[in-house]
Structure formats: C-alpha cells, structure tokens
Chains A and B, each alone.
Chain A
C-alpha cells in the first residue's frame, strides 16, 4: 500500500496519474476512460469496471497529433489525444466520449479510427432541454448501459446502479465538506490543494477516492491556522484539470473560494437523487443541472444567477474567468456573463490561454493587478 496519506498522496497521484491505473490493470481490472461530464461514471462503475477520467497534461507538446488533428483544433482535445498517442493511456480497455461540444465529439471519430480500443462509445447529448431532448438523453444512457453490459458480460440492474450512485453521493458529500473548508471565512484548504484532490478523484476507483477524501478532511480540518488570507475570488471557465492556475492566483494574492468548473463544482455540487428511476436521476444531474455553456438555457441573463449566488454565498469579491483557445461555448457566453456579474457588483478578469499557462509572468501580473483592485475596492 501507499505510504503517503491525505494531501501528500493526492499530490503524488495528480503528478503521476497513470501509475494507479496501470497497477489496477495488472490486477486484472477493466479500466474504461471517459471524457467530459455527460457519460456518468456511476454507470461504468455499476458494470464492475473502473471509471478513469481522461485528463490532459498542461503545456505538453502535442506534435504527435499533427498527423491526425488540425492545429486550430481545441488545444485541450489535441493534448488529450496526444496522451493516447504517447502510450500513456495504454491501460484503457474502453473509451467513452460524450458529445459535450463540437471538438470533443469530433475527437471520438478520430480517436476510434486511428487508435481503436476493445470497447468504445459515444454518448450523444442534446444541447436543448426540451422534454424530447431530455427523453433522448435518458434513452442514450440506457443504450450506454446496454453496451457496457455486452462488453463486460454483466447485467446492470437498477439496484446495482443505485449502489454506485449512492457511493458517488458519499463522495459528493465529502467533497462538499472540503469545499466548505476551502471557502469558509478562515480557509483551511488551498484551492491548489483541493484541485490535486479532485484530480486524484478522476484517477482512483471511487472506493479508494472516498478513503482519500476522509484523510484529507481530517488533515485540513486539524489545521489551526487559515492557509490563506488572500482576496476571495470565484473561478469560472473551461476545463481546469491542473492546479497551476490556482497556484498563480494564490501567488498573486488571491484565494479561490469557489469555482464553476467541470472537474469541480459543476460535477460534484449536488447529490444525484437516490429514489426513483436511476436514469432519470442521472439525466437530471448530468444534463439538466450541469452548468456547462454547451447547454442552451435561453436568452435571459438570469441564467447566470447561479454564479451570482455562488459568489454571494462564498463571499467572493470578484470573478476570474479562464477560457481555453477555441472554446466556443465559453467564449460566446463571456461578454454577457461579464456584464451580468458586473451589474451584480462582481468585477471580472478573463484569462485566455492555450492550455499551457506558458505566459506565467504576464498572467500573474494581471491577476495581481486584479486582486489589488479588488482589495482596494473593499
């Protein structure tokens, strides 16, 4: 067993994300990778397989993908595919990609054409929330379940799925505790630390992750002094699967007290209802409630009210937006979101990046100016 515990262990896992899955594969486990948040890991877990969320490696070279993907493709999609081409994901027996946005959906075709796996599945996801769109997604989840049953040679009944949902709900509960430790008046956990924990959650089987979470809650809860007195900010934006941005913010005098990102709050913010049809519950959580701008929530600026509420609840003083090059859904929302939040009294700073944070000095200076402006205002 691993000698490290709690936050040190989370850090080790986040820096060496492939180690544990390769071990699990050696142990004979089936590992299914999934990308984006619309293919519920609960279903993969209920099939007896280990769900592994595929992530990128910030700033990694992606020249291998030039023979398959355009340079103007989303740098995150390019980065993720380059991890496969580099052989770092060779422990995967299966690949599930959900139709979250154009580029991720298109990656599915290229990936499965050039690097076919024993099992692969695209989970199609409507952009609208019409009743027929919701019905479609719910059926899609059942088809996904059936394909896993065929591949894994198991039957996933409601009971098995509900057990997985309940396990993930326990994780959600523990994570909310960590969110409170991070976002409280006296923060006992750094956002960069929390991010390492979240990354470990993408890598580890849920049972192991739950164990780790309990260790971290104990460790952070035992801290006597707040870890950071920086300016309180909320981070919104495209995928963040590394602690570097949060570290830059911390270095520049900020403390991220809340986030609206897909590995963070969007995924874990509330429990999946345990009662009733589990597919309907998953549909509610992953399609209806999941706050990614790839889903149409109409033209009323009130669609951003959840962010205002989050900023208010966590006493954030301003918002830092982080967008990755070519991320159409986030970039098309940005001017409306910025104006809405500013009207609500929350200034916003946008960091646009090519998933490298290469320009660290310039970014830090901008964040510093922003946090100084916020604290001067307070």
Chain B
C-alpha cells in the first residue's frame, strides 16, 4: 500500500497556510460543552443553515478523506467488513461504520484516529439524498446499529436530462419538493436544538457565503490562463472551506487571499511547472491517500486546469431578503444550470450546498475552448460508482471533440486498490497518445 505519491506538494502560499487554518476547523469540537448538540452531516446540507443554528458538526465524508490521507481508513474499512458490510460499498461509508464500531468499543475515538482528531458522538444526524443512495443509507446504518439518535435525511431530486425544465408546471413540481424539504430540515433543527431559525442571522451568513464564493469562482476562472497559475493539489485542498465553512468570515478571508495570490501569478504569467506541455481536465474523486499523483503528472509537464468534481459552477445571484427561499432558489438555479449543460450521465445533481459535478456534453464544448484542453483523466473509483458511472459516456463525447482520455481505476479512500507502477504506466502511455495526436 506504500506509494511514492502519498505526499502532495501544494503550489500556492494560501493553501500551504491551510495547515494553520484546518486544525482550527477540526479543533473547534474540542471546545464544546457536553450538553451542546452535535450534528453529523452529509454534504448536501447547507453549512449556512447549520451556522444559523450555531450547531456543531462533524462531516463523515470529510473524515473519510482524512482517514484515507492518514492511512487510517484501511483499518476502519476492515472492521466494517467484519460486521458484514460488503467490500464493494463506498469506502467513505465503511470507514465511518468501522470507526463507529471501534468508537463504541473504546468509548472514545479509537487509537487509529488521525491526528486531526476523531468525530465525536452525534446527538442528531442530517443526511442527504443528493448524489447517491449510500449517502442516506449511511446514516440509516449508523442510526440503526451504532448511535441511536434522530435522523433527518433531505431528499432533493433533479429532473432527468430530457425533461423540459422551462415548463412552469415542472419547475413548480420540483420546487415544491425542495421548498418543503428545506422547511422539514429547519423544523428538525428547531426541534433538536430548541431554537427558532434566526432569519436575520441567516441573511448575514448568506451574504458572507456569496462573498466567499465570488472570490473562489474568480480563482477557478483564472486557471484558464496559459500557463495555469494553479493545479489540483491546491484545488482539492481549497475545497474544504467551500464545502463546510461558507458563511464564515474565515472562508471569505481565505478565498480573498487566494484570489489575490492567483491574480498576481496570472499577471506575471507564472505557472506551476517549468514547461506546461499538457492541459488536462479531471473527472471523478481524487485518490486522497495519493494526491502526489498530481505532482507526478506535473513532473511530466501535465497540469490539471479544471476539475468537474466539487465544482462551484457559475455565479448565481441571490436575494437574501427571504434567506430560506434564497437557499431554495440557489439550489434550483444550479440544478437548472447543470441541466442546460446536459445531465444524461449525472442526474442527481440537486445539491442544496454550494457545488455540483459539471460534466454535461454541452459544457465540454465550452471548456475545450476556454481552458485549451489537451486531454482528460478520469478516476474510476471502485467503491464510488456514482462518480464513475458516466465516465465512458463523457469519454465518448470528448473523443468527438478530439480530446483523448485516460480512465484509470482505484479508489478514493481505500488504498488497497492502488498500484504506483500501473498508474505510472498508464500516465506515460496516455501522455504519449496526446503527443501523437497533436503531431498528426
């Protein structure tokens, strides 16, 4: 399982400084009082809403990436497999289930827990049906087997790719579900915390959230410059505030600083490699335990300039006057945006948080020109079919645009499926293909 690609080098000063920011992100749990409610949350729960209730949270998906990066995941996954969970299941899920089992045995985070700390016992869980089935089955399993606490799983649905979403009846049909589901989530939080939703606070939080996301989007757009001022190791580090901290001043400061740094680099035409030979687009989840893979690509002049995963997409204007409705509208508008790009491969993209997976056929045409793409790399994750399913279709569409693709297989959190030699071989062969294509 040992790999030369375990260590990842970031290029931006801002993301290097995350080492200082992240402990604060994780350690805030240490300051909690025993009686404070703690919510385990699934991505798809708007962090803004949690912030408005001032609820302490844990994010098992994020914890999965941390355990993967710290090589704690294999142990937790094996424990879950011992309980009867299939090795085919999402490794984030089995990582959590194994952790829960050990937590209950020890009465505290087990010794294998990464140094950033373990997840504390939940008093409630907020699941989400956004993206895939395992993301709500996960909390159902935790709630049945380990921590018997109340669960609310939101269930936003997206229209299929061939549906006319401009039909007002269809739009209202989906909005009704979304709006009442949001309200259900608020009612649940009110019940669990004994507090009413503070609309005024949510309004201010939304403003901060919009501000942070504005800087973040601008950063990502600047990567269309040649050479690209930023790569994937910075991207996959910098998504953490977007996923869990929007609505906080800290996130605004972080993305503003990043924006200034990337702007400066762009102005100076400063790339991240000496000679940028290949500009790539990335599809799928990254191998969190081997993010150095991106540095390996960079050593060969290949820079990833766009990632379809966790992408915030385009700017969406919000009217924060009714902040709950603003959250509903933001969710719908992003869903509609992705729908216009084509969602034949990834239909479950209605995410009440602030990002999505941008892969549509029509979008690829735009990205090819805007980002001057030479090739695509797709990570087929064995235990996450949802992020992998559709990659062959995307490869077919890219091939029509003259963009070659490499599909390679491993996992996002379980390093047992990784092989350095195989990945290197595939990467070399792929880069040669791009060379041949551009020579012919």
A102 touches B155 (CB 8 A): no
Query: Which residues of B in the span 90-136 have a Cβ within 8 Å of any Cβ on A?
Result: 90, 93, 129, 132-134, 136
Nearest A residue (CB) for B150: A299
Q: How far is the CA of A103 from the CA of B176 in the complex (A)?
A: 25
Query: Quick check: is A67 within 8 A (CB to CB) of the other chain?
Result: yes
Query: Quick check: is B380 within 8 A (CB to CB) of the other chain?
Result: yes
Nearest A residue (CB) for B163: A122
Query: Which residues of A in the span 76-129 have a Cβ within 8 Å of any Cβ on B?
Result: 99, 101-103, 105-106, 108-110, 112-113, 120, 122, 124, 126-128
Query: Quick check: is A229 within 8 A (CB to CB) of the other chain?
Result: no
Q: B382 — which chain A residues lie within 8 A by C-beta?
A: 72
Query: Quick check: is B181 within 8 A (CB to CB) of the other chain?
Result: yes
A136 touches B176 (CB 8 A): yes
A334 nearest CB across to chain B (Å): 6
Nearest A residue (CB) for B155: A128
Q: Give the number of chain A interface residues (Cβ < 8 Å).
A: 55
Query: Quick check: is B148 within 8 A (CB to CB) of the other chain?
Result: yes
A265 nearest CB across to chain B (Å): 22
Q: A325 — which chain B residues lie within 8 A by C-beta?
A: 88
Query: Quick check: is B297 within 8 A (CB to CB) of the other chain?
Result: no
**Interface locus among B257-265, B301-309, B318-326, B342-350:** B342-350
Interchain residue pairs with CB less than 8 A apart (23): A67-B396, A72-B385, A106-B347, A109-B344, A109-B345, A109-B390, A112-B162, A120-B162, A122-B162, A124-B160, A126-B129, A136-B177, A140-B173, A143-B169, A298-B151, A299-B151, A331-B86, A332-B89, A332-B133, A332-B134, A334-B85, A336-B144, A338-B84
Query: Which residues of A in the span 130-175 have a Cβ within 8 Å of any Cβ on B?
Result: 130-133, 135-136, 139-140, 143
Q: A296 — which chain B residues lie within 8 A by C-beta?
A: 136, 140, 153, 155
Cβ 8 A contact of B348, one of A105, A130, A328, A331: A105
A328 nearest CB across to chain B (Å): 5
Query: Quick check: is A376 within 8 A (CB to CB) of the other chain?
Result: no
B93 touches A69 (CB 8 A): no
Q: A298 — which chain B residues lie within 8 A by C-beta?
A: 140, 143, 151
- Additional A-B contact list (11), CB under 8 Å, known A299-B148, A328-B89, A332-B137: A68-B396, A70-B388, A102-B389, A112-B161, A127-B133, A130-B180, A133-B177, A294-B133, A328-B90, A328-B385, A333-B137
A332 touches B160 (CB 8 A): no
B153 touches A128 (CB 8 A): yes
Q: A140 — which chain B residues lie within 8 A by C-beta?
A: 173
Interface residues as binary, B408-432 with A (CB distance below 8 Å gives 1, 0 otherwise):
0100000000000000000000000
B160 touches A108 (CB 8 A): yes
B380 touches A72 (CB 8 A): yes
Q: B393 — which chain A residues lie within 8 A by C-beta?
A: 68, 109-110, 113
Q: B136 — which chain A residues lie within 8 A by C-beta?
A: 127, 296
Q: A332 — which chain B residues lie within 8 A by C-beta?
A: 85, 89, 93, 133-134, 137-138, 140-141
A269 nearest CB across to chain B (Å): 23
Q: A352 — which chain B residues lie within 8 A by C-beta?
A: 86
Query: Quick check: is A326 within 8 A (CB to CB) of the other chain?
Result: yes
B344 touches A110 (CB 8 A): yes
Nearest A residue (CB) for B142: A299
Nearest B residue (CB) for A331: B86
B359 nearest CB across to chain A (Å): 11
B264 nearest CB across to chain A (Å): 41
Nearest A residue (CB) for B393: A110
A335 touches B84 (CB 8 A): yes
From A66, A102, A323, residue with most partner B Cβ within 10 Å: A102
Q: How far is the CA of A352 from the CA of B87 in the complex (A)?
A: 12
Among all A-B residue pairs, the 3 with the closest Cβ atoms: A299-B143, A109-B344, A132-B180
A328 touches B137 (CB 8 A): yes
Q: How far is the CA of A325 from the CA of B151 in the complex (A)?
A: 28
Nearest B residue (CB) for A68: B392
Q: A106 — which chain B residues lie within 8 A by C-beta?
A: 345-347, 386, 389-390
Q: A338 — which chain B residues lie within 8 A by C-beta?
A: 84
Q: How far is the CA of A334 from the CA of B144 in the complex (A)?
A: 12
A286 nearest CB across to chain B (Å): 16
Query: Which residues of A in the span 281-339 have a Cβ within 8 Å of any Cβ on B?
Result: 293-294, 296, 298-301, 323, 325-326, 328-329, 331-336, 338
Q: B93 — which chain A residues lie within 8 A by C-beta?
A: 332
A367 nearest CB across to chain B (Å): 18
B180 touches A105 (CB 8 A): no
Q: A122 — which chain B residues lie within 8 A by C-beta?
A: 160, 162-163, 347
Query: Quick check: is A184 within 8 A (CB to CB) of the other chain?
Result: no
A102 touches B386 (CB 8 A): yes
Q: How far is the CA of A109 from the CA of B184 in the complex (A)?
A: 30
Q: B137 — which chain A residues lie within 8 A by C-beta?
A: 293, 328-329, 332-333
Q: How far is the CA of A143 from the CA of B144 in the complex (A)?
A: 36
Q: How far is the CA of A113 from the CA of B344 in the complex (A)?
A: 7
Nearest B residue (CB) for A325: B88
Query: Quick check: is A73 within 8 A (CB to CB) of the other chain?
Result: yes
Q: B143 — which chain A residues lie within 8 A by C-beta?
A: 298-299
Q: B177 — which chain A residues lie within 8 A by C-beta?
A: 126, 132-133, 135-136
**With A106-B347, A299-B144: A331-B157 Cβ-Cβ less than 8 Å:** no
Cβ 8 A contact of B157, one of A74, A108, A109, A126: A126
Query: Quick check: is B366 within 8 A (CB to CB) of the other chain?
Result: no
Q: How far is the CA of A27 from the CA of B4 in the complex (A)?
A: 66
Q: B24 — which chain A residues lie within 8 A by C-beta?
A: none
B353 nearest CB across to chain A (Å): 18
Q: How far is the CA of A136 from the CA of B136 in the complex (A)?
A: 19
